[in-house]
C-alpha cells in the first residue's frame, strides 16, 4: 500500500517535473543552450504567484493568467537581450551567460524580497484527497492535472501548427530549416519564450505546494537536468517519461532514506546514466565523430 | 607495385539508411586514386570509415597487411595515413605556422624543430608569408592549403584528400594540382575525392565511382568516365571544363 | 699553452618586459613586508593569491584544455577536507595531507575524465556540477567523519609542516609559491608538444585526432593535473582560514569564482588567473567597503553581471585583449 502511495505521489510531482523539463529540453533541442536560468524562472513565477496572493488575494491558479505571459516575455527578453549574442560566440559562452543571469536573478530576488521563506496559505493548500487509503495532496493533484493538459496542448501545438512544426524543424536541423525559409531568430526567441512559459506555469502551480525563497529554483534546475539527461537531451517524450520516473524515484527515496539524502539518489542516477547511456532513453547520440 | 590499402565489403548503415554498401577496392603504392560520385553518394562517409572516424558495420580495412578495421582515428594516422577534411578544420587559437607545428610535433623533438618543419611545409604549399596569421581570417584557398600542409607534415605514406579543391578558383586549382604532383613524386600515395573533374582526369590514373553508397564503376579514369551509367549518374553534377 | 677556443658569450638583449618582470618580482617579494602593519590588505593579497592558484589550476583544464568544468569546487573541497581531517584526526601535518588530498582529487578527476571526456556535448560540464554536489551532500550527511554542516575548525599548531604561522607573511609566500605552480605549468604548455596537442584538442578535437593525437588521453591527463593542484589550493585555504564547511568548500559559487577569475584575466594564458584574481579579489574587498552593511547579495549580483558582461564583450579575457591593443593589430589577409 505504501508503495502505491509513493508511486502515485511520485507521479504527481513527476508530472510537474516533466513540465519543467519539457521547457528545458525544448530550449536545448532548438538552440543547444543548457539553460541555467530555467530554475530561476520557476522562482520568479512562484514569487509572482505569492505576491499576487499576498497583496491582492488572487489565487495562484488564476494568477497563471498573468504569470504565463509575464514569464514568456521575460524569457523572450533574456534571449533577445543577452543569449542571442552569447550563442554566436560558443556553447560555453551561452552556458556561462545563463549562469550569470541566474546569479543576477537570485540575488536580485534576495535583495528585493529578502531570504525569508514565503508560502501561500489558502483553503486549498493544506487540503488532501483521500481514496482507498491513499492520500494525495490536493494542490499537487491540481498541479499534475494542469501539467497534463498543458503537455497535451504543447504536443498538439508542436505537431499541428505551422509555428510548432517550424520549431521542431529547427531543432532537428537548423540549417535545413533556414534553407526552407524558417526565420530562425524568431523561432529561437519563441522557443525560449515557450520553454520559459512552461516552467512559469509549473512555478505558478507549485506556489501552493512549496515555500518560495530566492534560491528555490536551484533544486528544481538540478532535478530537471537529471530528467532531461535521463530522457535524452532534446527529446520531449523523454522529458515526460523521465519526469515521471524521477518523480517516483525521488518520492520513494525521500521515504526510505530521508529527504536530505534523496538528492543524492537522483544525482547518482544522473551520473549512472551518463556512464551507461549518455544519450538517455530517447535521445540520439549527438552528432560528432566520437564513438 | 605493393598493395598499400585494401577495402573489403565495407558497409555502414545509419538507422534505416545504408550509407555505404559493400564497397571493395585496393590502392597500390604510388597510385593516385580518384573517388567521384554525386553528392550524398557516401564519399566522405567512406573516407571516415577508412580513416577511423566511423566504425563500419561490416567489412574490413587493411593497411599494409594489417587489419585496421575499427581502429581509432589517431592510431590509424600514426600508421602513416593522413587525411584532410572537406570543410577545413584549422585550430582557431593557433596561428598558421603553429597549426602545422602541432602536426609536426609527431616527428619533431622540440618546438623549434616543429616550427622549422612547419615553415618548410608552409613554403612548400605557398603559405610562408602568412605564417603569423590567424586562421579565421584566411580565405578558403589558403585554408585548404593549410589543411594540406597539416596532413603532409607528418610524412604520410597514404594521403586522403576530401574535396581539397572545392571552392577554389581555376588558378588555385592549378596551383594545388602542381603541389599534389610534387607530393606524389616524393612517394606519397593519394586518394582523392573531387567534384572538379578536370583535376581528376589529370591527376588520377584510376577512379572509383560511388552512387548511393555502392560502387558503380571502377577502373582507369578514361574508361570509367566514358561509361554511360556514370555519365547518367553524374548528369547535372559535371563541372564545366576549366581548361588547361 | 693553447686555450680551447671559447664561444663568445651571447648577450641576451634585456627587453623592457624583462625589466618590468624583474621589477614586479621584486615588488612581489617585498610587498608582504611593506604591508606587515596592514593586516587587512595583506589578507586580501593572500586571498587573491589563493584564488589565483585555484583559478590557475582550473585554467589548465578549462583555458588550455577547453574543458568547461563547473564543478571544480569538488577538488577544492577534497583538498580542504582531506588535509584538515588527516590533521585533526590523525595528526598528519597538512603539508603531507595536502599531497594526499591532491592524490585523491586526481583520482576523482581521472574517473570523471575517463567517463565523460569520451562524449560530445555539455555532459562534462553537467557531470562536474553533479560530482561537486554529490560530495557536498556526502560531506554534510557523513557527520561522524566530517562534523556535517557545522564544518571543521583547524586547531592552531604553528609550524612549517602544519602550514600554520603566527604572522601573515609566511602565508603570503606560501600562497605565492602555490600560485606560481600553474603559471609554470602553463608556460611549459606553451612550449611543449603536450601543450600544443592539448590546445589543438581544445580548438578542434576531430582535426587533432586526424593528426594522430590521442585526444581522450590528453584531456584526461590535464584534468588530473588540474584537479590535483586545485586540491592543493583547497588545502592551503583550509589552513589559512582555519575553518571549513561543506556548503562553501563544495559550492557552485566556488566553482564559478574560478571560472570568472580566469575569464576576466585571460583564458588560456599563464598570468591571466593571477591578473583576474587581483582584480576580482580587489574588487571584492572594495565592494565590501562600499556596500558595508548593505544587503548581502548586492555583491553577488555584481559578480553575476560581471560574468554576463565578460562573456559577451571580453570572453577571451583582459590580458589577450590588452595584448592585441599593444601589438600591431590583427593581421588581415585581403583577398587576391
For C331, list phi and psi in degrees, rounded to 5.
-75, 130
Where do the DSSP E strands lie in B107-166? Answer: 158-162
pLDDT over 90 at A234, yes or no: no
- Largest interatomic CA distance in chain A: 58
Task: Tell whether C69 is covered by a domain.
Answer: yes
C235, part of any domain: yes
pLDDT tens profile B44-73: 999 999 999 999 999 999 999 899 999 999
Q: Which three cell numbers stand for residue C294?
A: 548593505
From CA B230, how far away is CA B223, in angstroms rounded? 10
pLDDT band at B193 (very low <50, low <70, confident <90, very high): very high
Average pLDDT, chain A: 88
Q: How many CB atoms lie within 10 A of CB B18?
A: 16
β-pairing, B58-63 vs A128-131, is unpaired
CATH of the domain at A237: 1.10.3470
Q: pLDDT (tens digit, 9 = 90+) per residue, C12-63?
A: 667 777 888 888 888 888 887 877 777 888 888 999 999 999 999 999 999 9
Taking the model in full, what pTM does it have?
0.90
Give per-residue pLDDT as tens, B2-29. 889 999 999 999 888 888 998 999 999 9
> Does residue B243 register a pLDDT over 60?
no
Report which of residues C163 and A249 the model is more confident about: A249
Tell whether the torsion through CA atoms of C311, C317, C323 and C325 is positive or negative. Answer: positive
Tell whether the model's pLDDT for residue A158 goes beyond 70: yes
Minimum-distance CB partner of B92 among C196, C203, C331:
C203
Nearest-angstrom CA–CA distance, B197 and B225: 10
Per-residue pLDDT at C187 exceeds 80: yes
pLDDT in tens, C297-327: 788 888 899 999 999 998 888 888 877 777 6
**Residue A291 belongs to a domain:** no
The DSSP element (H or E) to which C273 belongs, if any, is helix C272-290
In Å, how far is A232's CA from the nearest CA of chain B? 17
Q: Does residue B236 carry a pLDDT above 70?
A: no
Residue range of the domain that includes C137: 37-250
Distances B206 to A90, B43, C51 between C-alpha atoms, Å:
43, 16, 62
Chains contacting A (3+ CB pairs below 8 angstroms): B, C
Sequence-separated (6 or more) residues with CB below 8 Å from residue A11: A144, A244, A247, A248
Instruction: Please tell me the predicted confidence (pLDDT) of residue C39.
Output: 81
Residues A39, A48: Cα–Cα separation, whole Å: 14
A289 in B contact zone (CB under 8 Å): yes
Number of domains, chain A? 1
The C-alpha cell 543547444 sits at A32
The neighbours of chain B, by the rule of 3 or more Cβ pairs under 8 Å, are A, C
Q: What is the pLDDT of residues C53-77, one digit of tens each?
A: 999 999 999 999 999 999 999 999 9
How far apart (Å, rounded) are the C-alpha atoms in residues C299 and C295?
9
CB < 8 Å to C205, chain B = none
Distances (CA, A) of C323 to A230, B16, B22, B229, C241: 44, 52, 55, 59, 36
| Closest to C146 (Cα-Cα) out of C252, C250, C237, C227 | C250
Question: Which residues of chain A make contact with C303, given a CB cutoff of 8 A?
Answer: 103
Asked if residues A202 and A42 have their Cβ atoms less than 8 Å apart, the reply is yes
Tens of pLDDT, residue by residue over B142-171, are 999 999 999 999 899 999 999 998 888 888
Runs of H (alpha helix) within chain A: 2-31, 38-56, 60-78, 84-89, 91-113, 138-160, 162-172, 174-179, 184-206, 216-231, 236-257, 259-276
Is residue C336 over pLDDT 50? no
Average pLDDT of the residues in B92-121: 93
Residues from chain C contacting residue B139 (CB–CB below 8 Å): 333, 335
> Does the residue C2 lie in any domain?
no
* A154, pLDDT greater than 90: yes
Question: CA–CA separation, C279 vs B123, rounded Å?
Answer: 44
In-domain check, residue A282: no
pLDDT at C330: 45
- Is residue A254 in some structural domain? yes
Q: Name the CA radius of gyration of chain A, rounded.
A: 19
pLDDT at A183: 76
Which residues is B60 bridged to in the sheet?
Answer: B8
Q: What is the mean pLDDT of residues C279-296?
A: 76
Taking an 8 Å cut-off on Cβ atoms, the answer to whether C200 and B72 are in contact is no
Residue C46 lies in a domain: yes
What is the average per-residue pLDDT within C259-265? 94
Percentage of chain C exceeding pLDDT 70: 90
Task: Identify whether A110 is part of a domain.
Answer: yes
Instruction: Determine the average pLDDT of the residues in A196-212.
Output: 92
Edge-to-edge strands, sheet with B58-63: B17-28, B3-14, B58-63, B66-67
Domain assignment present for C47: yes
Which domains, from first to last, does chain B contain?
3-87+157-234 (3.40.50.300)
Q: What is the pLDDT of residues A187-203, one digit of tens each?
A: 899 999 999 999 999 99
Which of B78-92, B194-208, C123-137, C178-192 has the least mean pLDDT? B194-208
User: Quick check: B149 and B161 in contact, CB under 8 A?
Assistant: no
Domain range for A264 is: 2-276
* Residue C334: pLDDT over 60: no
ipTM of the complex: 0.89
pLDDT digits (tens, 9 = 90+) for C229-245: 999 999 999 999 999 99
Share the mean pLDDT of chain C. Answer: 87
- Beta bridge partners of residue A135, listed in sequence order: A130
| Number of domains observed in the structure of chain C | 1
- Mean pLDDT computed over every residue of chain B: 88
Give the distance from CA A70 to its chain's centroid.
16
Amino acid at each position: 500500500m505504501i508503495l502505491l502511495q509513493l508511486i502515485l505521489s511520485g507521479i504527481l510531482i513527476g508530472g510537474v517535473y516533466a513540465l519543467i523539463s519539457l521547457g528545458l529540453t525544448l530550449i536545448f533541442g532548438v538552440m543547444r543552450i543548457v539553460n541555467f536560468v530555467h530554475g530561476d524562472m520557476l522562482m520568479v513565477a512562484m514569487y509572482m504567484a505569492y505576491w499576487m496572493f499576498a497583496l491582492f488575494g488572487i489565487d495562484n491558479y488564476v494568477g497563471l493568467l498573468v504569470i504565463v505571459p509575464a514569464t514568456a516575455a521575460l524569457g523572450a527578453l533574456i534571449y533577445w537581450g543577452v543569449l542571442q549574442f552569447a550563442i554566436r560566440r560558443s556553447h560555453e559562452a551561452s552556458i556561462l551567460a545563463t549562469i550569470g543571469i541566474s546569479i543576477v536573478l537570485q540575488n536580485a530576488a534576495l535583495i528585493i524580497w529578502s531570504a525569508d521563506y514565503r508560502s501561500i496559505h489558502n483553503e486549498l493548500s493544506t487540503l488532501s484527497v483521500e481514496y482507498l487509503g491513499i492520500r494525495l495532496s490536493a494542490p499537487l493533484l491540481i498541479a499534475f492535472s494542469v501539467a497534463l493538459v498543458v503537455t497535451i496542448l504543447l504536443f498538439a501545438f508542436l505537431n499541428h501548427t505551422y509555428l510548432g512544426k517550424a520549431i521542431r524543424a529547427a531543432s532537428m536541423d537548423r540549417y535545413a530549416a533556414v534553407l526552407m525559409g524558417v526565420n530562425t531568430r524568431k523561432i529561437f526567441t519563441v522557443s525560449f519564450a515557450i520553454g520559459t512559459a512552461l516552467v512559469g506555469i509549473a512555478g505558478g502551480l507549485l506556489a501552493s505546494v512549496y515555500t518560495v525563497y530566492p534560491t528555490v529554483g536551484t533544486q528544481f534546475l538540478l532535478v530537471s537536468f537529471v530528467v532531461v539527461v535521463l530522457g535524452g537531451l532534446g527529446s520531449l517524450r523523454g522529458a515526460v517519461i523521465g519526469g515521471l520516473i524521477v518523480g517516483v524515484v525521488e518520492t520513494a527515496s525521500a521515504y526510505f532514506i530521508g529527504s536530505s539524502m534523496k538528492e543524492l539518489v537522483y544525482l547518482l542516477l544522473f551520473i549512472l546514466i551518463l556512464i551507461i547511456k549518455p544519450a538517455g532513453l530517447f535521445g540520439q547520440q549527438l552528432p560528432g565523430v566520437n564513438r | 607495385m605493393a598493395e598499400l590499402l585494401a577495402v573489403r565489403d565495407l558497409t555502414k548503415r545509419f538507422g534505416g539508411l545504408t550509407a555505404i554498401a559493400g564497397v571493395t577496392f585496393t590502392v597500390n603504392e604510388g597510385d593516385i586514386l580518384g573517388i567521384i560520385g554525386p553528392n550524398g553518394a557516401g564519399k566522405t562517409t567512406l573516407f571516415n570509415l577508412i580513416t577511423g572516424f566511423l566504425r563500419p558495420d561490416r567489412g574490413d580495412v587493411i593497411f599494409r597487411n594489417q587489419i585496421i578495421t575499427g581502429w581509432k582515428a589517431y592510431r590509424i594516422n600514426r600508421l602513416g595515413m593522413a587525411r584532410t577534411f572537406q570543410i577545413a578544420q584549422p585550430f582557431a587559437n593557433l596561428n598558421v605556422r603553429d597549426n602545422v607545428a602541432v602536426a609536426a610535433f609527431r616527428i619533431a623533438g622540440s618546438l623549434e624543430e616543429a616550427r622549422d618543419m612547419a615553415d618548410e611545409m608552409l613554403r612548400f604549399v605557398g603559405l610562408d608569408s602568412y605564417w603569423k596569421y590567424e586562421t579565421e581570417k584566411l580565405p578558403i584557398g589558403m585554408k585548404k592549403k593549410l589543411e594540406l600542409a597539416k596532413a603532409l607534415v607528418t610524412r604520410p605514406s597514404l594521403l586522403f584528400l576530401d574535396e581539397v579543391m572545392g571552392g577554389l578558383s581555376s588558378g588555385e586549382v592549378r596551383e594545388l594540382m602542381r603541389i599534389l604532383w610534387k607530393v606524389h613524386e616524393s612517394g606519397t600515395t593519394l586518394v582523392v575525392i573531387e567534384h572538379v573533374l578536370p583535376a581528376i582526369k589529370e591527376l588520377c590514373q584510376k577512379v572509383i565511382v560511388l552512387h548511393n553508397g555502392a560502387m558503380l564503376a571502377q577502373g582507369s579514369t578514361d574508361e570509367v568516365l566514358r561509361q554511360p551509367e556514370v555519365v547518367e549518374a553524374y548528369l547535372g553534377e559535371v563541372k564545366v571544363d576549366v581548361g588547361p | 699553452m693553447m686555450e680551447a677556443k671559447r664561444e663568445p658569450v651571447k648577450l641576451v638583449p634585456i627587453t623592457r618586459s624583462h625589466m618590468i618582470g624583474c621589477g614586479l618580482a621584486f615588488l612581489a617579494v617585498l610587498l608582504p613586508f611593506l604591508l606587515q602593519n596592514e593586516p587587512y590588505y595583506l589578507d586580501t593579497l593572500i586571498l587573491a593569491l589563493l584564488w589565483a592558484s585555484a583559478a590557475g589550476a582550473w585554467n589548465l583544464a578549462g583555458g588550455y584544455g577547453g574543458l568547461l568544468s563547473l564543478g571544480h569546487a569538488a577538488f577544492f573541497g577534497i583538498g580542504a577536507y582531506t588535509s584538515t581531517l588527516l590533521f585533526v584526526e590523525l595528526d598528519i601535518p597538512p603539508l603531507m595531507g595536502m599531497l594526499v588530498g591532491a592524490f585523491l582529487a586526481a583520482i576523482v578527476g581521472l574517473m570523471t575524465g575517463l567517463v565523460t571526456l569520451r562524449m560530445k556535448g555539455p555532459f562534462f560540464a553537467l557531470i562536474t556540477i553533479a560530482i561537486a554536489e554529490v560530495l557536498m551532500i556526502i560531506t554534510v550527511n557523513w557527520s561522524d567523519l566530517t562534523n556535517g554542516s557545522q564544518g571543521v575548525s583547524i586547531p592552531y599548531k604553528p609550524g612549517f609542516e602544519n602550514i600554520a604561522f603566527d604572522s601573515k607573511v609566511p602565508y603570503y609566500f606560501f600562497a605565492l609559491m602555490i600560485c606560481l605552480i600553474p603559471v609554470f605549468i602553463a608556460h611549459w604548455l606553451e612550449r611543449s608538444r603536450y601543450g600544443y596537442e592539448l590546445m589543438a584538442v581544445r580548438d578542434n578535437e576531430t582535426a587533432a585526432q586526424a593528426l594522430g593525437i590521442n585526444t581522450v588521453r590528453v584531456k584526461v591527463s590535464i584534468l588530473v593535473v588540474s584537479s590535483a593542484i586545485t586540491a592543493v589550493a583547497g588545502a592551503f585555504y583550509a589552513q589559512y582560514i582555519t575553518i571549513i564547511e561543506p556548503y562553501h568548500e563544495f559550492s557552485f559559487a566556488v566553482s564559478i569564482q574560478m571560472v570568472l577569475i580566469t575569464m576576466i584575466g585571460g583564458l588560456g594564458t599563464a598570468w591571466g588567473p593571477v591578473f583576474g584574481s587581483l582584480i576580482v579579489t580587489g574588487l571584492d574587498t572594495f565592494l565590501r567597503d562600499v556596500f558595508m552593511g548593505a544587503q548581502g547579495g548586492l555583491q553577488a549580483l555584481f559578480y553575476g553581471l560581471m560574468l554576463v558582461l565578460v562573456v559577451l564583450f571580453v570572453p577571451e579575457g583582459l590580458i589577450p585583449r590588452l595584448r592585441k591593443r599593444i601589438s600591431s593589430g590583427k593581421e588581415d589577409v585581403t583577398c587576391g
